[in-house]
Amino acid sequence: MDPATKGTSRASSVFTSLFRMGGGSQHKYSPLDHDGEASGGVAPESQTRLLPGESTDENLDEESQLKQQKGRGLLYRLVWGDPNNIFVKLIMLLLMIPLFSYLVAASLRVLSPNSVPCDTPELGYQCDQKTTHTWGQYSPFFSVPSEISPSVPEGCRLTFAQVLSRHGARFPTPGKADDISAVLTKIKTSATWYGPDFEFIKDYNYVLGVDDLTAFGEQEMVNSGIKFYQRYASLIRDYTDPDSLPFVRASGQERVIASAENFTTGFYSALLADKNPPPSSLPLPRQEMVIISESPTANNTMHHGLCRAFEDSTTGDSAQATFIAANFPPITARLNAQGFKGVTLSDTDVLSLMDLCPFDTVAYPPSSLSQESSTRKRISPFCSLFTAQDLTVYDYLQSLGKFYGFGPGNVLGATQGVGYVNELLARLTHSPVVDNTTTNSTLDQNEETFPLTNKNRTVFADFSHDNDMMGILTALRIFEGVDREKMMDNTTIPKEYGSTGDEPGLKEREGVFKVGWAVPFAGRVYFEKMVCDGDNDGDGKIDQGEEEEQELVRILVNDRVVRLNGCEADELGRCRLDKFVESMEFARRGGDWDKCFVKGSSGRLWIWSG
């Protein structure tokens, strides 16, 4: 492992362990992992609520138990392992405040005095934008420009905040890693000549990991937690009260759990820096997270897999195949002519080389930009093989795949997000979850795993994947402004999509779906509820006398305020809570869940008529 990568991971891991306060006990429930007859799943014996990184298996072998103990961190085991060791705990707590500052600094890449970080909590990744912002869902998070100010409107105060976040940057999936390795092997074993810009491939060793969060992704999530605290600090009324702190859930894949842990690391580091609590108030309340299984039969609103007809759909792959056939041959011909002799690349080979541009970049800690030379510090050399137009082609290819595979271009795309939307409505209204799709009723009916009645709970954080967030955003009607006629031609790029060299205005881009603006690495959706005084209450009227405060709902996708559809949104994109709930009629009736298990259901293009 690269030393910088290893150091960042270690520092972040130790920092996270400090927040695992209390013993290692697990709170056991016995719910059905799978509720409802429609999905036809088998119910595992139990569901466990546990600390980040702990196993749900009570019958671990000795090696696994040792690995789990090591995963808790040395400080964790020394300080918190013995509940009676009060003296040692007190000493360690006194050391924690300066140690927090050290560990946060250790988790960041060391920068020279004349450089600035490429990745910041406020704006995300901003270096080499014409390259790094054109990687589709593989783009690192960047703050998307918004026509409506994302600030809390004057005269308003927030009463609720929830984030739905994708995990941070990761290594390639196993299948993609195999494809990348295969094309590099093909080149190295057959090429008899390399063009000037391609010679680095001779000495390039592919040593990237598989699936896991990278050091880059860890830092993205730490930054995300810092930003979330800074934005919603007003809702943290009492940091010594567990009910005032974020309630965290994570889908059960390791990179998602690790992302949630790094997010909380950033959140609490920002809280401690802001509040500077006296040692007597430490430790902070122990924060557990609810980890929801991703097993094939598990009900999980943040992970698809139950809807058979949707899982069998090939619309996304088909759309991408058509686009590749129409747009990749010129790129492939140029690389074959300029890059090599003795080897002939295919279009899919070229796609794998293009994949290395983002993945070989985010495999390392975020780089910095030198103020003296204004040159990049760490962008993969594979990016230099492609022109700006090539990267636009790559970006649009990813957008097509998500639009047709998991979004409004798939007949059952929105239905995959219905369960999560119904959970959101329950939280916004403090009412029971009403859903018969992907929700786990045992978890959602338990105040410890899905708190609803305690109105002091106003801050929530959920962690998931890009594909699942696409279904949720579609169910929320976020993409109703997309012009489907433009997206139905899978051979050309709409002019409104823009190129890296000439970005069109926001209004011109409005009718086009761009996946990097929706679900990049560490992408996030903020759900806000607010009440306002006077003319900012969202009813469009000048108030006359005392009226009951209207609760308003607003949604931001990667800092961009999206104008809500179907609920009489005001000029600031907000809707009254009651109108927003009414506008979610598709989700409240279960979407098209009944079509998930009908023989012959297909994933053909669905033109939304609502």
Confidence of residue 368 (pLDDT cuts 50, 70, 90): low
Asked if residue 333 has pLDDT above 50, the reply is: yes
Domain that holds residue 67: 3-24+56-171+211-285+292-312+407-438+462-538+555-597
Exposed, middle or buried: residue 575 (CB in 10 Å: 0-12, 13-18, 19+)? buried
Asked if residue 277 has pLDDT above 90, the reply is: no
Asked if residue 70 has pLDDT above 80, the reply is: no
Mean pLDDT along residues 406-427: 98
Q: What is the pLDDT of residue 274?
A: 94
Residue 110, classed as helix, strand or coil, is: coil
Q: How far apart are CA 510 and CA 23, in angstroms?
A: 51
- Quick check: 211 and 259 in contact, CB under 8 A? no
**Beta strands of 121-168 (E only): which ranges?**
124-125, 156-166
Confidence of residue 535 (pLDDT cuts 50, 70, 90): low
Q: What is the pLDDT of residue 434?
A: 98
Close Cβ partners of 461 (under 8 Å, ≥ 6 residues apart): 162, 163, 165, 228, 246, 247, 248, 249, 260, 263, 264
Angle (deg, nearest 10), helices 215-232 and 86-107 = 110
Q: How far apart are CA 285 and CA 264, in angstroms?
A: 13
Least confident of 71-75, 304-308, 395-399, 423-427: 71-75
* Two tokens, residue 156: 């308003």
Mean pLDDT along residues 541-562: 79
Residue 163 has φ and ψ, to the nearest 5°, of -110, 135
Cα–Cα nearest to 261, from 107, 116, 364: 107
Whether a cis peptide bond, with omega within 30° of 0, leads into 283 is: yes
Cα–Cα nearest to 591, from 610, 604, 572: 610
Residue 335 resides in a domain: no
Residue 342 resides in a domain: no
Least confident of 102-106, 152-156, 296-300, 471-475: 102-106
Residue 453 has φ and ψ, to the nearest 5°, of -80, -25
Residue 333 resides in a domain: no
Asked if residue 491 has pLDDT above 90, the reply is: yes
Mean pLDDT along residues 332-339: 98
* Two tokens, residue 361: 């970049």
Average pLDDT, the chain: 81
Q: What is the pLDDT of residue 282?
A: 76
Identify the sign of the CA torsion 354, 355, 358, 363. Answer: negative
**Number of separate domains in the chain:** 1
Q: Longest Cα pair distance anywhere in the chain, in angstroms?
A: 83
Close Cβ partners of 509 (under 8 Å, ≥ 6 residues apart): 496, 497, 498
Mean pLDDT along residues 273-291: 83
Asked if residue 164 has pLDDT above 90, the reply is: yes
Strands 47-49 and 289-292 turn out to be: unpaired
Asked if residue 387 has pLDDT above 90, the reply is: yes
Mean pLDDT along residues 487-515: 73
Q: Which range scores top for mean pLDDT: 109-113, 257-261, 455-459?
A: 257-261
Residue 224 resides in a domain: yes
Q: What is the pLDDT of residue 180?
A: 98
Residue 121 resides in a domain: yes
Angle at 328 between CA 325 and CA 330, to 5 degrees: 120
Asked if residue 265 has pLDDT above 90, the reply is: yes
Asked if residue 31 has pLDDT above 90, the reply is: no
Task: Work out the end-to-end distance of the chain between its first and last CA atoms, rounded to an integer number of angstroms.
Answer: 51
Q: What is the pLDDT of residue 508?
A: 52
Q: How far apart are CA 553 and CA 160, in angstroms?
A: 9
Q: How far apart are CA 261 and CA 225, in angstroms?
A: 10
Check if 167 is active-site. Answer: yes
Asked if residue 34 has pLDDT above 80, the reply is: no
- Quick check: 467 and 402 in contact, CB under 8 A? yes
- Quick check: 437 and 591 in contact, CB under 8 A? yes
Q: What is the pLDDT of residue 135?
A: 98
Residue 341 resides in a domain: no
Q: How far apart are CA 557 and CA 546, in angstroms?
A: 34
Q: How far apart are CA 506 and CA 496, in angstroms?
A: 10
Exposed, middle or buried: residue 368 (CB in 10 Å: 0-12, 13-18, 19+)? buried
Residue bearing the bigger pLDDT, 540 or 257 = 257
Confidence of residue 204 (pLDDT cuts 50, 70, 90): very high
Confidence of residue 456 (pLDDT cuts 50, 70, 90): confident
CA distances from 513 to 61, 368, 453 (A): 48, 30, 38
Mean pLDDT along residues 509-534: 92
Mean pLDDT along residues 472-477: 99
Residue matched to tokens 């595992």: 44
Identify the sign of the CA torsion 610, 162, 247, 253. Answer: positive
Confidence of residue 539 (pLDDT cuts 50, 70, 90): low
Residue bearing the bigger pLDDT, 491 or 603 = 491
Q: What is the pLDDT of residue 85?
A: 53
Q: What is the pLDDT of residue 489?
A: 85
Q: How far apart are CA 149 and CA 184, in angstroms?
A: 46
Close Cβ partners of 198 (under 8 Å, ≥ 6 residues apart): 338, 339, 340, 385
Residue bearing the bigger pLDDT, 534 or 356 = 356
Q: How far apart are CA 235 and CA 557, in angstroms?
A: 20
CATH of the domain at 467: 3.40.50.1240
Exposed, middle or buried: residue 558 (CB in 10 Å: 0-12, 13-18, 19+)? buried
Residue 164, classed as helix, strand or coil, is: strand
Residue 218 has φ and ψ, to the nearest 5°, of -60, -45
Q: How far apart are CA 271 and CA 277, in angstroms?
A: 9
Active-site residue identified among 34, 133, 167, 465: 167
**pLDDT, tens only, 2-29:** 433 443 443 344 334 333 333 333 333 3
Q: Which range scores top for mean pLDDT: 32-46, 100-114, 268-282, 534-548?
A: 268-282
Q: What is the pLDDT of residue 123?
A: 96
Confidence of residue 37 (pLDDT cuts 50, 70, 90): very low
Q: What is the pLDDT of residue 605?
A: 34
Mean pLDDT along residues 498-508: 53
Residue 453, classed as helix, strand or coil, is: coil
Least confident of 72-86, 349-363, 515-529, 542-556: 72-86
Residue 375 resides in a domain: no
Number of Cβ within 10 Å of residue 607's Cβ equals 10
Residue 443 resides in a domain: no
Q: What is the pLDDT of residue 390?
A: 98
Residue 512, classed as helix, strand or coil, is: coil
Q: What is the DSSP letter of 139?
A: S
**Beta strands of 317-471 (E only): which ranges?**
340-341, 368-370, 459-464
Number of Cβ within 10 Å of residue 417's Cβ equals 30
Confidence of residue 284 (pLDDT cuts 50, 70, 90): confident
Q: What is the pLDDT of residue 6?
A: 40
